[in-house]
Amino acid sequence: MKQHPKISSSILSANFAILGQEVADVTQAGADSIHIDVMDGHFVPNLTFGPQIIKAIRPYSSLPFDVHLMINNVDSYLEDFVAAGADRLIVHPEAEPHIHRVLQKIKKLGKKAGLALNPATSPQVIEYLLDEIDYLLIMSVNPGFGGQSFIYQQLEKIKVICSMVGERPIEIAVDGGVTLENAQKISEAGASTLIAGTAIFNNLGYETNIKRLRGEIA
């Protein structure tokens, strides 16, 4: 019997004016990790968090911090985000010409190495990287902004990637447009982690929203 998926709370949809408290609240509400989208305005068309923000909110939660680096020259910033409190560093293959080296460097820094695939990025990108990956992030919207609609063609991509991963201990996460209406389909396709922002922060019932996304309550 398939277990309920893990829920990672994306703080891109949180109230930035009280970000530390929001992180504490979703931690208390039962999230499994905190997902932090770092955007530089170049790799994706938006600006969000830097290492100093991550360092500032780190004391508010003991949960793993999954730092999704949607930035150019990612190799130059790995140490900064590790020092700020990242537990997993997630990078895009398009961000560096030698992504294998970047994944190895993340592991040498003592952190979990993650790879993110944009909606149009082929699953075959991971074929020769699987032994370097701890975490696979499948983007189900085009990255850059929260609140977008789920791209349903990604369900087939999730299935293909799960088949490629096989029995390897790689966490497979899906990010973008995750809602109560599609969470079950995403989980059934093989995702072990659902990343949600709007679906959690759309009202003050964070605990109820997280439980519903997991499928613990209707």
Q: What is the pLDDT of residues 146-182, one digit of tens each?
A: 778 899 999 999 999 999 999 999 999 999 999 999 9
Instruction: Flag whether 147 is marked binding.
Output: yes
Is the CA virtual torsion 105, 190, 163, 197 positive or negative?
negative
- Give the percent of the chain with pLDDT over 70: 98
- Write down the catalytic residue from 25, 40, 134, 175: 175
Q: Specify whether 75 is catalytic.
A: no
Q: Which of 31-45, 46-60, 80-94, 136-150 has the lowest mean pLDDT?
A: 136-150
Instruction: Flag whether 43 is marked binding.
Output: no
Instruction: Flag whether 114 is marked binding.
Output: no
Q: Specify whether 37 is catalytic.
A: yes
- Write down the catalytic residue from 37, 40, 66, 75: 37
Confidence tier at 1 by pLDDT (50, 70, 90): very low
Instruction: Flag whether 35 is marked binding.
Output: yes
Instruction: Flag whether 176 is marked binding.
Output: yes
Task: Set out the domains of the chain in order of their start, with CATH numbers.
Answer: 6-214 (3.20.20.70)
Token match 């992030």: residue?
A: 137
Mean pLDDT for 120-129 is 95
Task: Please say if the pLDDT value at position 132 is more than 80.
Answer: yes
Per-residue pLDDT tens digits for 18-36: 999 999 999 999 999 999 9
Mean pLDDT for 34-51 is 94
CA 8, 13, 14: angle at the middle one, nearest 5? Answer: 90
Q: Helix or strand or coil: residue 90?
A: strand
Q: How many CA atoms lie within 13 A of 15 on its CB side?
A: 12
Instruction: Flag whether 145 is marked binding.
Output: yes
What's the predicted TM-score (pTM) here?
0.95
Q: 93-130: string of b/e by CB count within 10 Å (b at 16+)?
A: bebbeebeebbebbeeeebbbbbbbbeebebeebeeee
- Give the percent of the chain with pLDDT over 90: 88
